[in-house]
Amino acid sequence: MAPDGIERSRHRTVRRYRSIWISDVHLGTRGCKAEFLLDFLRHTESDHLYLVGDIIDGWRLKRSWYWHQTHNDVIQKLLRKARKGTNVVYVAGNHDEVLRDYLGLQLGGVMLMGEAVHETADRRQLLVIHGDAFDGVVRYAPWLARLGDKAYSLALAANNALNLARRRLGYPYWSFSAVLKAKVKNAVKYVDDFERALAAEARRRGVDGVVCGHIHKAEIRTVDGVLYCNDGDWVESCTALVESHEGDLSIVHWVSERQFDLHRTLARTA
């Protein structure tokens, strides 16, 4: 293996990590970027793979059925990794909360859990949890969370329409919904409150940090002395949290690194 953790195979370049965390894929929705996730999964290998909730969007599937072939391909690829020896752990989220009735079971080599504790190569203990239990809206006003989900879907649809127009005019991709989250004062406070709540829980548990998803905002930072890591999503940002074999943590921005167009459909590769 090359010093940078990149292996060369006959067909493609494969990045080798100790651990990978992904969440908020939302299979079963039109906004899911399954083709980009497939590309990521084909070009990465790891000892541990954590699926940190909202991999399947049960909320949306209850309202209307949508399931593209690429969504099947993602499931099959994850199961194949488990069969080949990757330790795959599925931590259920709120959109796939039906799986919380089956915690502790192993399905196709994938362990279903409500949360997990991961030990990094440099001996740090990280709580792995989706994070919805620390979202005040989800916890105390679930009806508002579902309303917010519908509003978010509308924002994504507007985002797609806007960027199709920008693409035709020769402009690069621009995330309208991401800008909204970054600029709106209440949204900024919501994210800060969420991060501090999870950091406080990690401190209460006596661990060194926390890895979560839920709010679709990839980040690594220290919050009140606790390491906070969010792996982002595969609806807008197409990001993952990865751990090197030395224990270093970083965020991979797959679309940017691969120089993909978010509106382009990838051809399947072996």
Q: How many domains does the structure of the chain reveal?
A: 1
Helix H or strand E encompassing 35: helix 34-42
The residue ranges of the chain whose pLDDT is under 50 are: 1-4, 6-10, 137-148, 184-185, 267-270
Report the percentage of the chain scoring pLDDT > 90. 63
Domain that holds residue 152: 6-258
**Structural domain includes residue 95:** yes
Backbone angles phi, psi at 117, to 5 degrees: -120, 120
Give residue for tokens 């089956």.
Answer: 102
Q: How many angstroms separate the CA atoms of 127 and 113, rounded?
A: 12
**Structural domain includes residue 264:** no
**Structural domain includes residue 267:** no
**Structural domain includes residue 270:** no
Q: What is the CATH number of the domain that holds 230?
A: 3.60.21.10
Q: Are 43 and 73 in contact (CB under 8 A)?
A: no
**Structural domain includes residue 124:** yes
Three-state DSSP class for residue 148: helix
**Structural domain includes residue 103:** yes
**Structural domain includes residue 266:** no
Residue 16's pLDDT is: 98
- The 8-class DSSP code of residue 132 comes to G
Q: How many angstroms separate the CA atoms of 201 and 157, rounded?
A: 35
Residue 151's pLDDT is: 55
Q: How many angstroms separate the CA atoms of 192 and 142, rounded?
A: 20
**Structural domain includes residue 1:** no
CA 226 to chain centre: 21
Residue 134's pLDDT is: 87
Residue 198's pLDDT is: 94
Q: Are 132 and 140 in contact (CB under 8 A)?
A: no
Q: List pLDDT tens digits, range 169-205.
A: 776 665 656 655 555 445 556 678 899 999 999 999 9
Residue 180's pLDDT is: 56
The Cβ of residue 87 has, within 10 Å, a number of other Cβ atoms equal to 15
